[in-house]
Amino acid sequence: MSDHDKSLWLKTCREHVVDHPLNGDLTVDLAVIGGGYSGCTAALTAAQAGASVCLLEAQDIGHGGSGRNVGLANAGLWLPPEDIRAHLGKQAGDRLIDLLAAAPADVFDLIERYGIDCDPVRNGTLHCAHSASGLKDLQRRHAQLSATGAPVKLLPADQATQRTGSAAFHGALFDPRAGTIQPLSYVRGLARAAAEAGARIVTQCPVQSMQYDNGQWVLKTPHGLVRAKSVIQGTNAYHQGLQATATDYVPVYYFQFFTAPLSDNLRASILPGGEGCWDTGLVMTSFRMDAEGRLIIGGMGDLGQAGRTVHAAWCRRKLAELFPQLSGQSLTEGWHGRIAMTSDHIPKITQIGPNALSAHGYSGRGIGPGTVFGRLMVESLLQDDPDLLPVPAVPEYRESWTGLRRAYFETGATLMHLIKARL
């Protein structure tokens, strides 16, 4: 079941991309597969560097997770710094930590530089402690982030209440580096800027096969062949076809509903500072305001499965629990997206062939990392320098029991929401 047409981001997107259909064969320096954050940033970076570029998107720009997410432009990954170093080692870990600490600045700089109309609000984010154990987790994160020089601040319960408008939290971790955007407008703005820089944007054009022949890649599509010296694949959790270069991940689903624009009084009582929020719950909840004063609330779960009714009922109850002043407020429709989760929650870059890279596994942190990874993959290919990559490339990446683990996450989210909806 597809509910992409119910997305608030689709309804309110003000950025438009003029694409150029592929009619026959084309030869370029770089072919980009996938029109999400990584792909569009890669196309923009390469075009600005003077390379000829063709971006091929099977659907529309932002059709996948880039156009469906919460719109929090966060710094870093889900993992705290010590966990990143434990997985990557100190040198590689510190490099990734530093790169992603600056990711929100990269995002907001691109928005300003190219005039992307995506409602940017850089007032920070709040990671909210849903319990006493959640507060202990935030204390650990605060200590580790502060040690890296991050300007984060741990807020006590009364300040968390003041900042969110909800008395449900034991405290919150405030990160002033981050902010919120209209995520579909951002990715379409990147594609528009790439096209203005000379990149050819082709939508509704899935890549059916690709092979390396005589020093160049040959990509077959329903509308012609694209030959390229280099390839970047940024399909992430919305990989379509091309099984030879499909990447392994655990699919995790996340849904969102939204209210009608709130009255001025209600709007002043909820997130008056405009931060974006998520909590420390194992089955996470997020909430934020959009530019028109709609409250957007989301949680883990697949609205395309039998649990849709359960997830929707939980969402209504959760809204009233967090904000009693909104009890009885109706929620408008709802949509969901798919997240590519890796076991260690660290994004991967795969060397899928000569001069060909694929990135995936942002684990729910697509905006900042996707932007950074797209840019650095291009710089690495153009300069023939693998040390420029944000993480070392691997020849392949495999996950085990992905289908079983997907069922585990969805069943857990559904059961949790069923129990909470009935309390």
For residue 139, being part of any structural domain is answered with no
135 vs 182: CA distance, rounded Å: 29
CA nearest neighbour of 51 among 295, 289, 228:
228
Please answer whether residues 299 and 291 qualify as being in contact, where contact means their C-beta atoms are separated by less than 8 angstroms: no
Direct distance between the N- and C-terminal alpha carbons of the chain, in angstroms, rounded to an integer: 29
Strands 216-221, 285-289: pairing kind:
unpaired
What is the pTM assigned to this prediction?
Answer: 0.95
95 vs 92: CA distance, rounded Å: 5
Please answer whether residues 34 and 366 qualify as being in contact, where contact means their C-beta atoms are separated by less than 8 angstroms: no
Q: What is the pLDDT along the chain (423 residues), one digit of tens a residue?
A: 467 788 999 999 999 998 899 989 999 999 999 999 999 999 999 999 999 999 999 999 999 999 999 999 999 998 999 999 999 999 999 999 999 999 999 999 999 999 999 999 999 999 999 999 999 999 999 999 999 999 999 999 999 999 999 999 999 999 999 999 999 999 999 999 999 999 999 999 999 999 999 999 999 999 999 999 999 999 988 888 776 677 778 888 999 999 999 999 999 999 999 999 999 998 899 999 999 999 999 998 888 877 788 889 999 999 999 999 998 899 988 999 998 888 899 999 999 999 999 999 998 899 999 999 999 999 999 999 999 999 999 998 877 656 666 665 666 667 667 666 555
CATH code: domain of residue 31: 3.50.50.60
Please answer whether residues 251 and 339 qualify as being in contact, where contact means their C-beta atoms are separated by less than 8 angstroms: yes
For residue 318, being part of any structural domain is answered with yes
For residue 146, being part of any structural domain is answered with no
For residue 161, being part of any structural domain is answered with no
For residue 137, being part of any structural domain is answered with no
Which residues is 341 bridged to in the sheet?
250
329 Cβ neighbours under 8 A, 6+ residues apart = 259, 260, 319, 320
209 vs 207: CA distance, rounded Å: 6
Domain limits for position 372: 4-124+177-422
Report how many domains make up the chain.
1
Query: Under DSSP, is residue 118 helix (H, G, I), strand (E, B) or coil?
Result: coil
Please answer whether residues 6 and 177 qualify as being in contact, where contact means their C-beta atoms are separated by less than 8 angstroms: no
Task: Tell me 121's DSSP state.
Answer: B
For residue 101, being part of any structural domain is answered with yes
Q: Concatenate the DSSP letters of all residues of 271-293 into one string.
A: -TT--EEEE--SS-EEEEE-TTS
Task: Tell me 355's DSSP state.
Answer: T
For residue 130, being part of any structural domain is answered with no
For residue 136, being part of any structural domain is answered with no
326 vs 26, 144, 175, 281, 319, CA distance in Å? 55, 36, 26, 21, 7
234 vs 34: CA distance, rounded Å: 5
